[in-house]
Amino acid sequence: MGVLRTLLALVVVLDHAWPAGSVFVGGPNAVQCFYIISGFLISYVLVERRSYSSVGAFYVNRYLRLYPIYIVIASLTLLAVLITHRSNFLYVCQHAPLPAVCVLIFTNLLLLGQDWIMFLGVQDHSLVFTANFRDSEVYLFEGQLIHPSWTLGLELTFYLIAPFVLTRRPLLCALLVGSLGLRALFIARGFGLRDPWSYRFFPTELALFLAGALAHQILLPAYQRLAAPIRERLIKGGMLAILALVVGYALLPLAEIYRKPLLLGCVVSVIPLAFMFQLRHRVDSWIGDLSYPIYICHTLVLDLTHFALRHTSALDSRLGALVCIALTIGAAALLNHYVAEPVEKLRKALKMRDREADRRDPLQTLPAARPATVQD
């Protein structure tokens, strides 16, 4: 799973850096694959491991997983904007109405609600909801310090409901059906495949998170019950197949309307196998830990690289993209070492303290659930 997560993060980087545009599965598809993976992992920690003894502890720990690296990169991005003036951020702050500026300050500072910026605009110098974020006098999304961080808003929304949904299978399935039905309705109305409704609207993207959760709760135990030789062949074959699909997606002789469901269905099917692979290979886990910092820091690296090379015409644009990728991976490793690892120690300490508190106050525990069986 680690290699897959980091490969998907690099697909997003390439989507923003490569002059020819989308490569491999493309940025939007990679983001939706991440939703599935997130649903799987959150179901694992809530339902199987029961890593958090209270809802509050779950919220705090998940926020600590995302926020420290985010705020470091957001701060560095703001500093880079003030020095280089290479962003439309200052223009948005100067020309947007006060309510819009307040919303941008709140979302940039706290991370919450960044996805809803994609459904806001400015008309007649007033903040309004809009079905197209480009139908606006001022593009508010350009006021986000880290443009891809809108996906973290969807993540946080999923975290808010996860403790109450993932432990209740009937509710989970009902929400899955409702989310799929809403997407079908939007497509039938003619806008469901258009940005921002195609992959930025949480109620329709919820189906992907929940599909990942069901992959953990149903498929993982089924795979684990298989005979060891069969299971090992499935793990190796599944990993090779999903990596080949991510890389060779554009070569499939199918229309996008068929390719995309195939991709997402394969991810749901293979994620449990990739997870079992990660549990046995520490290197795979270490590679996977690079995915989040790569995703968050790559736009800053791209902007700084373009600024540094703005007077250099000798560097081929494709080579420049590869330079950006290399620098992004290096920056991600530094972020993990100096930010994520110290915070991880704090998160573990908070988990231990929460468990001790839970022994004294058992009424604060998460909703009861039957944990999945782990067999090997």
Q: Where do the structural domains in the chain lie, given as residue ranges?
A: 2-364
**10 Å Cβ neighbour count for 44?**
21
3-state SS, one letter per residue, for 259-315: HHHHHHHHHHHHHHHHHHHHHHCHHHHHHHHCHHHHHHHHHHHHHHHHHHCCCCCCC
pLDDT at site 84: 79
What pLDDT score was predicted for residue 309? 73
Rounded CA gap, 157 and 62, in Å? 11
What is the predicted pLDDT for the residue at 319?
76
Q: What is the pLDDT of residue 353?
A: 72
Residue-wise pLDDT tens digits, 288-309: 999 999 999 999 998 888 777 7
How far is Cα 215 from Cα 267, in angstroms, rounded to an integer?
A: 9
- Owner of token pair 């809802």: 55
- Per the DSSP assignment, residues forming a β-bridge with 127 are 122
Q: State the DSSP string of 93-150.
A: HHHS-HHHHHHHHHHHHH-TTGGGGGGEEEETTEEEE-SSTTSSSS-GGGG-SSGGGH
| Neighbouring residues of 356: CB distance < 8 A, sequence distance ≥ 6 | none
**Gap between the Cα atoms of 51 and 285, Å rounded:** 18
What pLDDT, on a 0 to 100 scale, did the predictor assign at position 49? 81
Low-confidence ranges of the chain (pLDDT < 50): 361-365, 368-376
DSSP state, residue 347: H
pLDDT at 314: 52
Cβ atoms of 366 and 53 within 8 Å: the answer is yes
**Which residues are CB-neighbours of 310 under 8 A, at least 6 positions away?**
none
Predicted local distance difference test score (pLDDT) of residue 77 = 94
